[in-house]
Amino acid sequence: MITIIDSAACCGCTACVNICPVQCIVMRRDREGFDYPLANPDRCIGCGKCESVCPVLEPLEPRRPLAVMGGRSDEFVEESASGGVFPYVARRVIGNGGVVFGAAVEDDMTVAHCEAGSMEEVNRFRGPKYVQSELYAAFEDVHDRLCEGMEVLFSGTPCQVAGLRKYLDKKAHELDLSSLVTVDFACHGVPGPGLWEKYAVSMERAYGSGMTGVKFRDKKRSWFHYDVVYEFAGSADGNSVARDDGACSSSVRRKYVEDPYMALFVQDMTLRPSCYKCPVRCGLSGSDLTLADLWSVRQSMPRLDDDRGASLVLVNTEKGRMLLEGLVLEELVPELAMGNNGGFAESVPVPERRKEFFDSLDSAGDLQSYMSGFVRRGALPKRIARAVRAALVGLKRRIMR
């Protein structure tokens, strides 16, 4: 029976919850705002399935990518996080009559995995959500669609993909998984849903209006900078816009350093404990494709160096390679392309003040100012500093040309 003694040893993938034959495991939120499985010993029949599907207890085999590529989809780049490779592959699956699973912001501002059968629905998955998404019954739904003979694309964090693969292997080893494709991304970590929900409420209080949308990373000003944009119903500030239906909506744009939620995420303060010891780095997720920001664009692919965004693509399987057909990508030197990008091999270190931050969170009066008090001014985390340094080197070269 699964028992969580060390919170860093559970990434919250829900594989154990979904596999339990007597449904005696539920996800429970801890005081830091992360969800963990809790098994009921009175109902447990001791089958051991929960332990066998856990990607932390029984990891998949490490792999090296077949190819490291760079590029983007000109059609999708604007509204996507990096180069829009995800919607490109999603469209192929939708075109074949398949379905796509991904993370979307719901109407109540929570982030959850949903199923999409059209590109209109897939559009909700585009752009990063810097919150651990709720999976609910997504693994079971993927299983059901595969049983119905449908092609399925599942996109998520590497630990979600690893959990899904382990769950499917155990749940249905006779099931043909050739119609399943999985896409993950270079992931340095996720904040918990509990903190995000509290923060959204504090923003609504601060602006005196209900939040109707959030873009955790808006590229209008620049791809290199992380701007966050909040949408509110009604007139929350001077940026209000009259809508066609006569109502008012307004948006608030902040640079990441000015927004305590984003600043603490970028500074790794609010990540899940497992992210500091990530169990699925180095290809351990079993995904077909791994996507990332091509931070070395100025050195690796100068023709795409226009601040619109570019993707680094790790082709892990032949199935993944087939999905990319028709997209113009270039093979890159792995060390150069991946060198500036955290999230592949190393986990980030636990920030010194993380414990203090979560210990006093519940007693914080005004959340915005409490969180602002933990934002480090000036010093950028190493992985972001590396990317900025690479960008500046490229810029210097261009000036000298």
Pick what 125 binds: ligand FAD, ligand SF4, none; C-beta below 5 to 8 Å, kind-dependent.
ligand FAD
**To the nearest whole angstrom, how small is the minimum distance from the Cβ of residue 43 to ligand SF4?**
7
Pick what 12 binds: ligand SF4, ligand FAD, none; C-beta below 5 to 8 Å, kind-dependent.
ligand SF4
322: part of which helix (H) or strand (E)?
helix 318-323
Which residues contact ligand SF4 by CB under 6 A? Answer: 1-2, 10-16, 19-20, 22, 24-25, 37, 39, 44-50, 53-56, 157-159, 163, 187-190, 272, 274-275, 278, 280
Which residues contact ligand FAD by CB under 6 A? Answer: 80-87, 102-103, 111, 125-131, 133, 155-157, 185-188, 190, 291-293, 311, 341-343
Pick what 24 binds: ligand FAD, ligand SF4, none; C-beta below 5 to 8 Å, kind-dependent.
ligand SF4
Tell me whether residue 171 or residue 254 sits nearer to ligand SF4 (CB atom): 171
Helix, strand, or coil (residue 267): coil
Pick what 50 binds: ligand FAD, ligand SF4, none; C-beta below 5 to 8 Å, kind-dependent.
ligand SF4
DSSP, residue by residue, 259-318 = SHHHHHHHTTTTB-GGGGG-TT-TTTT--SEEEEE-TTHHHH-GGG-SSS--EEEEE-SH
Helix, strand, or coil (residue 250): strand
Cα end-to-end distance, the chain, whole Å = 64
| 296 touches 340 (CB < 8 A) | yes
**To the nearest whole angstrom, how small is the minimum distance from the Cβ of residue 221 to ligand FAD?**
16
Tell me whether residue 131 or residue 391 sits nearer to ligand SF4 (CB atom): 131
**To the nearest whole angstrom, how small is the minimum distance from the Cβ of residue 301 to ligand FAD?**
15
Tell me whether residue 18 or residue 251 sits nearer to ligand SF4 (CB atom): 18
**To the nearest whole angstrom, how small is the minimum distance from the Cβ of residue 265 to ligand SF4?**
12
Phi/psi of residue 346, each to 5°? Answer: -105, 145
Q: Look at residues 283, 278, 271 and name the one whose alpha carbon lies nearest to residue 357.
A: 271
**To the nearest whole angstrom, how small is the minimum distance from the Cβ of residue 187 to ligand FAD?**
5
Q: Is 138 exposed, middle or buried (0-12, 13-18, 19+ CB in 10 A)?
A: buried
Pick what 297 binds: ligand FAD, ligand SF4, none; C-beta below 5 to 8 Å, kind-dependent.
none
Tell me whether residue 92 or residue 188 sits nearer to ligand FAD (CB atom): 188
Give the HSE-up count for residue 53: Cα atoms under 13 Å, Cβ half-sphere. 30
For the record, the structure tokens of 99 come out as 């379905």
**To the nearest whole angstrom, how small is the minimum distance from the Cβ of residue 189 to ligand FAD?**
7
Give the HSE-up count for residue 36: Cα atoms under 13 Å, Cβ half-sphere. 18
Give the HSE-up count for residue 167: Cα atoms under 13 Å, Cβ half-sphere. 23
